[in-house]
Structures are given as C-alpha cells and as structure tokens.
Structure 1
Amino acid sequence: MLEQKLEDKNIKPTAMRLLVLKQLVENAAAISLKDLEAKFEKADTATLYRTLKTFEQKRLIHSIEDGTGSLKYALCEEGCECAPQDQHIHFHCVECGETYCLTKSKIPQTQIPSGFKASSASMVYKGTCANCN
C-alpha cells in the first residue's frame, strides 16, 4: 500500500521514503523535520529534508506554517493539487504543540484584487485540542 502510494505520485519507493511515509500515515497530527529526526536517530537530516521536499513537490504532502517557526508536514487528501481552493484549515494546540488538519473545513474563498494571483493560502486556529481540553 505504501509503495503504491509513492508510485502513484511518481516517487521511487526507497527504504527511507517508505519509512517517512509510514510515519506520516500513522501520525494523526502534522510532523516537523525535528520530530522525524527524533524518530529516526541514525537518519541523515539532509536525507529526511530531501524526502519531505520531494513528497511536497509531488503533492503527496503539504507544509503548514502554524506560527511555531517550524514547518510541519501532513498527507494531502486524494485529488489534492495544493491549489488555494484545495487547502483546508489547520488547528494548532497551544498545550501539546500538535498541529491538526481540519480537512472538512476548507479555507474560505476571498476576492483577490485584479492583477494578483494567489498560489497558496493558510489559515490556522490556535487553542486547546480535544486531548488536552
């Protein structure tokens, strides 16, 4: 299943890519490069970073700027092209530090001034998650 997910996005399924994808699939919350490094103590940081960037370029994952200063990554939904209309709201828990995708809540459409072209959109709610509440 994991290999097929990579192949569907034209990503060669190497051992490291499969391990990173497994972590992303198993994690309910978005994960940062630092979090991945902690899970793979012997993995090279550059390799993990390149893996995440490859996944992002091939639109297997999306990055989230949740205000912590550290990008977090989560799997894209089926059919997502990471265009502004595909993007959803995120929730960052101020207690545990986890960031969650609220995939059923799309970012509202906004009128962009003439001559402007949006390439991405981001909306993050902050508060306390169900686990910490």
Structure 2
Amino acid sequence: MKELESQLIEKQIKPTAMRLVVLDFLVKQENAVSLTDIELNLDKTDRVTLYRSIKTFEEHGLVHRIDDGTGITKFALCQPSCTVEGHHDLHVHFYCTVCEETHCLPKTQIPEVRLPAGYEREETSLLVKGVCAECKRTYA
C-alpha cells in the first residue's frame, strides 16, 4: 500500500482510502476498464466518490480515458511521463472485436500529425480494431 500511496503523492493527489483502493484495482488490470467495471469489482463503492477519484486521477496525469467506439468510456493507467499539465502517452489502443476488451499498446506510438496553419490540436487518439492475440489463439 505504501507504493500506491507514493504513486498518488508523486502525482500531487491526496491518498484517501477510496483513491488507494481504486488505484490498487487499476494497477492489477491488464486492459482498460469502465467506471462500471471498477464499481462492480469493489465492495461498497459510492459511485460519485469513484467518479471523482477517476476524474482527479485523469486531471493529474495518472489515468487516461479511451474512446474505443463502444460508447462506454474506458480508463487505463498513464505512462510515467504524464503530468498535471497534460498527457504525453500518445500510444495506440486496440479493441478486440471478439472479447470486446480494450488494450493499451504503449510501445506502438501514434506518429506525429502535422496540422495546417491555424489548426490547434486538443487531443490525438488512434484506435485499431481486430482480434487480440489471446482470442486468435483460443478461437483459431
């Protein structure tokens, strides 16, 4: 728990009991998860407090949100380079059409997109849809 507490403090987040529980859950996930996924897997979770915790994590560069085209926002831990000033983990996300899980692919970076003069980027994302390695092995 000390390591989780240090992680929150490093991101300038006050380590409350709920935030520690949420971070512990997120650290153990291999895929991006929705608020509902988190809520269903934690005992006695207040939805508003959970939402505020995730919002704080996002604002401080601890988690990033993912729009995988399902209409349900997912969240995953950020790379260490993300800060309060902004997210710097421009990596590809992969949505498996078989198991319907969303994976961060941090080693697959989004190439720099040059915009015409006068355009200002607010967000960049790249989503690849297909069959993940596990599903390919299982259903091949």
Aligned to 1:55: 57
Aligned to 1:129: 132
* Counterpart Cα distance in 2 of 1:50 and 1:87: 24
How far off its partner does 1:116 sit? Answer: 1.1
Aligned to 2:5: 3
Question: Which of 81, 94, 102 is the aligned partner of 2:105?
Answer: 102
Deviation string 1:75-101 (CA, Å, 9 cap, x unpaired) is 111112414xx3100001111111111
Do the aligned residues in 2 keep the contact of 1:82 with 1:120 (CA within 8 Å)? Answer: no
* Mapped pair 1:82 → 2:84: no
How far off its partner does 1:41 sit? Answer: 4.5
Aligned to 1:46: 48
Deviation string 1:4-60 (CA, Å, 9 cap, x unpaired) is 000001101111101110111100101110101111242111111111100000001
Taking only the aligned residue pairs, the percentage that are identical comes to 49
* Counterpart Cα distance in 2 of 1:95 and 1:77: 27
What is the TM-score of this pair, normalised by structure 2?
A: 0.89
Structure 1: gaps (5+ residues): none
What is the TM-score of this pair, normalised by structure 1?
A: 0.94
* Counterpart Cα distance in 2 of 1:7 and 1:70: 29
How far off its partner does 1:106 sit? Answer: 0.9
How far off its partner does 1:122 sit? Answer: 0.7
Would you say how many aligned residue pairs link Structure 1 and Structure 2? 131
**3-state SS of paired residue (2:133):** coil
Query: Structure 1 segments of 4 or more deviating over 2 A?
Result: none
Structure 2: gaps (5+ residues): none
1:114-125 mapped onto 2 (5 Å cutoff): 114-125=117-128
Structure ID, larger Rg = 2
Question: Which of 93, 98, 110 is the aligned partner of 2:96?
Answer: 93
Amino acid at match of 1:76: C
Do the aligned residues in 2 keep the contact of 1:89 with 1:122 (CA within 8 Å)? Answer: yes
Do the aligned residues in 2 keep the contact of 1:2 with 1:21 (CA within 8 Å)? Answer: yes
Do the aligned residues in 2 keep the contact of 1:94 with 1:126 (CA within 8 Å)? Answer: yes
Which stretch has the larger CA shift, 32-41 or 46-55? 32-41
* Counterpart Cα distance in 1 of 2:43 and 2:24: 16
How far off its partner does 1:132 sit? Answer: 1.1
Do the aligned residues in 2 keep the contact of 1:89 with 1:124 (CA within 8 Å)? Answer: yes
